[in-house]
Chains A and B, each alone.
Chain A
Amino acid sequence: MIDLMKEDVERPDELIEVASLDYKNITSNEKGGLTLGAMLNNSNTANHPEVRTKYPLLSMAMLSAASVQLRNMATNGGNLLQRTRCPYFFETSMPCNKREPGTGCGALNGMNALHAIFGWSEKCVAVNPSDMCVALAAIGATVEVLQADGSPRMIEFTDFHRLPGEQPEKDTNLMPGELITAIHLPEPVFSDHYYYLKIRERASYAFALVSVAAGLQIQDGVITKAGLALGSVAHKPWKLTEVENYLEGKIPNPANFEAAAGLALKDARPLEDNKYKVEMGEKAIVRALTQAYERNA
């Protein structure tokens, strides 16, 4: 928010500090999973012993993000709401329907190497930049919010972020006045076989060109459950439900992983500058599934 204010992208009339509210705990929930407080910072969440052992995929994804200093300050709730890093969004002299509805999408016919290959509309081709959210999409989660009237509301993670459609200015389905208080995680099933693969230009401190969160539950040599999502390919973390269903019941082997990757990318709609993301996405999925399988194999 402060960053966006400095760049004159966000112009709030009022700011309310919420990070010090007491939603900073990590507790067990009735589904047999963990609940993450929204105001706890990313570092303490990712390094929490229970998160590390039960949701190592989430931990791995979170620790690949940004820099140590940023992770120390970023909250879990804040991470969910982080905005796109599309340069047209940031540059106030450039057209951007997300920042100023009606001005057009500069990236659509401009520089779109870092932009979406799924789910984009003519109004916006930006991607969601969060690593944490890709892992949450793969694992499955529920976002708890406090409504204006004081009562709680649950939002399925896959419904939390939006596709741009006709209203790219709306990143999420949060209603005005709502406050994120917790992220509920399901019973952990991917603690043995997981991998977060982040493909980027330098070894640290950079957003993904493409990323993959892969989790497998394997019993008697067969995949019984799969969690799979792509990052930096769409306006929301790209959960691959069809591919997860495909993998369930299959033997974890290269042929099946490649088929899964093909299935995941077959409906990709790349733009002028980001055709590489299709091949990169496929290779990344095969690699992430392979690494997930081979860990503790």
Chain B
Amino acid sequence: MKTLKASGVGAAINRVEGRLKVMGMAKYASEFPVENIVYAQGINSTIAKGEIISVDTSEAEKLDGVLAVITHKNSEKLKTFEEEMPELTTTSKAPVLQSPKVRYYGEFIGVVIAETFEQAQYAARLVKFEYKKDPEPTILFDESRSKAYKPKSHTDYLRGDMAAGLAEADETLDHTYSTPIEHHHPMELHAVIASWENAKVTAYASQQIVEDSIIAISDTFQIPKKDVRVISAYVGGGFGSKLNTERHVILAVMASKMLKRPVQMTVTRQQMFTNTGMRQHNEQRMQIGAKKDGSLTALSHDTLSHTSTYQEYQEPCGMMSKMLYKVPNNEIKYSLIPMNFQTPFAMRAPGEATGSFALESAMDEMAWKLKMDPVDFRIKNDTQIDLGAGKPFSSRLLTECLRIGADKFGWENRPKEPRAKQEGNWLIGYGMSAASRNAPYQETSAKVILELEDDKVYATIQMDATDIGTGSYTIIAQTASEYLGIPVEQVTVELGDSNFPITPGSGGSWGAASYCNGARAACESAIGKLKENKNISQDEDIVVAELLKQNQLNKFEAEGTAAPSEEFEKHSVFSFGANFSEVWVDKDTGMYRIKRMVSVGSAGKIINPKTAYGQMIGGLTMGAGMVLAEQTRIEPNFGNFITRSFADYHVPVNLDMANIDVIFLPEEDKIANKMGIKGIGELGITSVAASLANAIFNATGKRMRELPITPEKLIVAPLEPGVTA
């Protein structure tokens, strides 16, 4: 098989759809030119808990262009939940407007549909709701601890005996780390255009998993899956907020059915705070025991978070603590408090992003207690066996990542004690952390259509995969280029249509591995069949153009499916990494600068170093955001999010991330999948927060155990006992 190095696997080519995007021709959900379209604007509750006792839609309905106002009084009856506190998943139905009960501030309690967007927006403000307000909503975390319960979705885990492990340790620590509510805020607002024809609904929606969206819609409306079509051709970021099907989709589908016209609904940036998911606040208690030589004897991770009062989601903060290090005594626990906020859901590296802050901060604290180099401390406890799962790792290069990262970063120059290095008004510190991220891989199907024209083979790959900004279009094209032996310019990739073969969608860092292997399988299937038809040996090296000619075909199509092997199931498959950062902290004002960051990742085969680098930089930036300023604050009296727009919710700016670098460690992991791909979308964010917090400790002697680390906190934080000023 001839491969064209310029555009196949491993080539750092530009996005194949880049030109379309720059020219505005790549269509995102709300941009499809659907005829006869009308616009919907959601209306949100303004109490945290209670009941709607009256609705006055008269003023809104009088307005020019207003076609309908839908509330619980006149909505379609949908399938609601049968059990108590069902788990929120990517396929969950999303009933809305089914009851006068209000469960949280900002919940969708109505929708206005009008001829123009502006009319709908204005009319929405004129609908008057009267509430019977519950005087005691559950909105204060600290005061609601007694309401905690054990989640169904995550059972506690124990190996060995924690008490014994702590008893045999030379040093122990017991600290609690806290991460705030965060929001995904992808650049593209959640949006949908829903339209019905002959009892079938088509939804152009901004979704990460097209197939799961079909399941959610069909389940909610109790219609067959075959009568639902979802198209997510281009998605402007998701980070997990577009994994499940949110209520604006259901509202648009409902409204469209009622009005017999296509309905477009966009969730405003302000509405994104309460209707498209969030990362919950996590309070994480770490206990660690270690011997003088650095070997861990005990490690436990106990997480207390919140969920809504009607659905359950637990971010698995303890998952890294269960498998990253060699420790015989290990306990992972979870509790949840039902509160009057929306149900949280997965946000980039759910579990790792927040859990790694706790784990890798605690490890750094223990390294300091032991007077041991933090890198050596991680290496001392490295393991090739996932003790949590009881399986060997398919490939684990954590020690290599740590050593190479330390070398590239100049870790040997690190200040050995906190507050040891000062330059002018700046205290300088270095910090590091170890990272790991599960590399799932799921069954994926794809179709390839081959066409022969003037001796050139053109290929079209179709699958219901989505590109949420990660570069899926490009790496799928590169895979086809590789396996068909044609330039990438001759490959067309068509994604995000539920009419295409089924994939697991984009999420959980499984996209690259699943999509590329699916494309590979389709290409191999086509070639295999073409050879078989002409009794050509499967091992014969013959170009596709020739194969088609021998078959006397100008066009040929085939489908293929890739799936995890038995070996895969017998191993723990992970990507690993290491983060190093240098922080300069102003000795007086509480401000600090991220001077530089180096991140090393080993994630198997990198299909496109350019898009992979972009993914990692994005992850680093999001990890930095966790530390710099990202937090959504709760209003203590009313229960809304007082952080209500991008003016309040601070993501890092370019100047914050001036000097960051990513190194990929080449890794062959044949067990992961045939192409050896492991995900990186979430590896990048993991443990970044800890490396920065550790650097801030190294600089200032202040151990910050609550994110974000803002000037307002840093300026008043005390020195850690044992640090000399």
> Chain A residues in contact with chain B, CB under 8 A?
8, 85, 87-88, 90-91, 93-94, 106, 109-111, 113, 197, 199-206, 209, 274-277, 279-280, 283-284, 286-287
Contact = CB atoms under 8 A, between A and B. Distances in A.
A87 B648 contact: yes
Interface of B: 46, 125, 425, 588-591, 593, 628-629, 633, 635-638, 640, 642-645, 647-648, 650, 652-656, 708, 710-713, 715-716
Contacts of B425: 287
Contacts of B642: 87-88, 91, 110-111
A91 B635 CA distance: 12
A209 B637 CA distance: 23
B716 A206 contact: no
A197 B588 CA distance: 12
B650 A202 contact: yes
A118 B558 CA distance: 73
Nearest to A86: B642
Contact of A91 (B644, B650, B656): B644
A85 B647 contact: yes
B588 A287 contact: yes
B554 to A, nearest CB: 53
Contacts of B637: 106, 109-110
B591, B628, B637, B654 — which one has the most chain A CB atoms within 10 A of its CB? B591
9 contacts: A90-B644, A106-B637, A111-B636, A202-B650, A202-B652, A202-B656, A204-B654, A283-B590, A287-B425
Contacts of A106: 635, 637-638
A283 B588 CA distance: 6
A197 B715 CA distance: 15
A3 B262 CA distance: 30
A53 B589 CA distance: 28
A284 B593 CA distance: 17
A254 B711 CA distance: 23
Contact of B650 (A109, A111, A197, A201): A201
Nearest to A276: B712
Contacts of B588: 283, 286-287
B590, B642, B647 — which one has the most chain A CB atoms within 10 A of its CB? B642
B653 A205 contact: yes
Contact of A283 (B628, B652, B654, B715): B715
A232 to B, nearest CB: 12
A239 to B, nearest CB: 21
A275 B716 CA distance: 9
Contacts of B589: 197, 199, 280, 283-284, 287
- Top 3 closest A-B pairs, CB basis? A203-B655, A201-B629, A93-B46
A109 B643 CA distance: 16
A164 B628 CA distance: 32
Contacts of A274: 712
B711 A204 contact: no
A232 B633 CA distance: 19
A287 B644 CA distance: 33
Contacts of A206: 629, 650
A94 B638 contact: yes
A279 B715 contact: yes
A273 to B, nearest CB: 9
Nearest to A8: B125
Contacts of A94: 635, 638, 640
B653 A280 contact: no
A87 B644 contact: yes
B35 to A, nearest CB: 29
A199 B643 contact: no
B595 to A, nearest CB: 12
Nearest to B717: A276
Given A8-B125, A85-B647, A202-B628, A110 B653 contact: no
B470 to A, nearest CB: 25
Nearest to A291: B425
Given A113-B633, A283-B590, A287-B588, 6 more contacts: A111-B633, A199-B589, A200-B591, A201-B650, A209-B711, A279-B715
Contacts of A200: 591, 711
B624 to A, nearest CB: 10
B209 to A, nearest CB: 33
A205 B628 CA distance: 13
A109, A200, A277, A286 — which one has the most chain B CB atoms within 10 A of its CB? A200
A91 B640 contact: yes
A90 B637 CA distance: 17
Nearest to B629: A201
A109 B642 CA distance: 13
Nearest to A286: B588
Contact of A202 (B590, B633, B653): B653
